[in-house]
Amino acid sequence: MRTIFPTNTFPKDMHQYLLGTITPRPIAFISTINNEGTNNLAPFSYFNAISSNPPILVFSVNRKPDGSKKDTLLNIENTGECVVNMVNSGIANQMVLSSVSYDSNVDEFAKSGLTPVKSETINAFGVKEAYVRFECELDRVIHFGDFGGASSLVICNVKCIQIADKVFDDNGKIDPVKLDNIGRLGRAYYLKMTKGNVFTIPHIKTKTPLGFDSLPKSITNSKFLTGNLISKIAGLEKLPLKEEVEEYKSLLDKFDTEIVQQIAAAEINNNQIYEAAKLLMVVEYFAKEK
Ligand SMILES: Cc1cc2nc3c(=O)[nH]c(=O)nc-3n(C[C@H](O)[C@H](O)[C@H](O)COP(=O)(O)O)c2cc1C
């Protein structure tokens, strides 16, 4: 392990440690309007939702090297509003193009070729090409300094959400692959939601799952069972009793315990969790007797 202390690390290196390790981050593509009525658009990946009731989004804006505020922060402080647009992979490069530090009188919608669209509840325009737009009012800003790189946390109340019909599945639920949000990784890396890399972990339905600490060592120490596989057994409410697995006892005449554990691992992968637990408990109850 590398041990890193902020006190003896250059801020620019610390920035990269945080950007590179806290990943993937969603990107808030923020549109605002300045005093002269010019649209402003810029991405911010220090961003998340922090409350559903009331709905609150936060993002943070770093100071420029000379300590001055970026246009996004100035505009939000002036007007008290912004649109948080989500970035789909189809507008990823345009998002990066908009992140260049243009003068405050430059409209980044025009620079990046994106289309401003009127909002329902606020004056700031949204990005038409975004599949999700949060129309927000400023709650408050918390400043962590006024020197170069210091950040200001912008806390926003969501007034209205616009979501494209195309991102919903047949059951009316949001489909992460259709939503196509990109994630920011460190440096120039980004993540795309493809069918192959999105996976599901069903909710644990048992009220009082066993947990790892209630499993026998023959399961938790098995070299064929990863933490992910053991978690499925640990999610059960109880382990099969000796009499329930008696019928499998003869397996141990044909196969050694390692093979039985490998078959159990395959059963877990097939979502046959209780069956797998039975096999593992055959080993636990009867292997020592052999
Ligand atoms: C994907 C991405 C994420 C970014 N995240 C942040 C961030 O979280 N905070 C920040 O201060 N700047 C961030 N930036 C840089 C700003 O977008 C950039 O400084 C921009 O010019 C600010 O524009 P403005 O002056 O119009 O507000 C990010 C840039 C990119 C490309």
6-197 maps to CATH 2.40.360.20: no
d(CA 36, CA 129): 25
CB 42 near ligand 1, within 6 Å? yes
Q: Which of 103, 96, 116, 88 is nearest to 192 (CA)?
A: 88
d(CA 68, CA 62): 9
Q: Measured between alpha carbons, how far apart are the two ends of the chain, in Å?
A: 43
In the predicted structure, residue 272 carries a pLDDT above the cut 80: yes
CB 72 near ligand 1, within 6 Å? yes
CB 32 near ligand 1, within 6 Å? no
CB count in 10 Å sphere of residue 54: 8
Residues 28-48 have a mean pLDDT of 97
Q: Enumerate residues 6+ apart whose C-beta is below 8 A from 61.
A: 44, 69, 70, 72, 73, 151, 152, 154
Average pLDDT value for the chain: 96
Q: Which atom of ligand 1 is nearest to the CA of 72?
A: 27
The predicted pLDDT at position 289 comes to 62
Residues 50-66 have a mean pLDDT of 97
15, 29, 45, 79: residue to mutate for ligand 1 pocket, most atoms within 8 A of CB: 45
pLDDT tens string 183-198: 999 999 999 999 999 9
Residues 73-79 have a mean pLDDT of 98
pLDDT tens string 116-137: 999 999 999 999 999 999 999 9
The predicted pLDDT at position 202 comes to 87
The predicted pLDDT at position 290 comes to 54
Residue of the CA atom closest to atom 15 of ligand 1: 99
Q: Which residue is associated with the tokens 């408050």?
A: 140
| pTM summary value | 0.92
Max Cα distance, the chain (Å): 85
Percentage of the chain beyond pLDDT 90 is 96
The domain limits of the chain are 6-197, 212-289
Q: Which atom of ligand 1 is nearest to the CA of 59?
A: 8
pLDDT tens string 220-236: 999 999 999 999 999 99
DSSP 287: G
pLDDT tens string 12-24: 999 999 999 999 9
- Phi and psi angles of residue 162, each rounded to the nearest 5 degrees, phi first: -110, 125
Burial of 260 (0-12, 13-18, 19+ CB in 10 A): buried
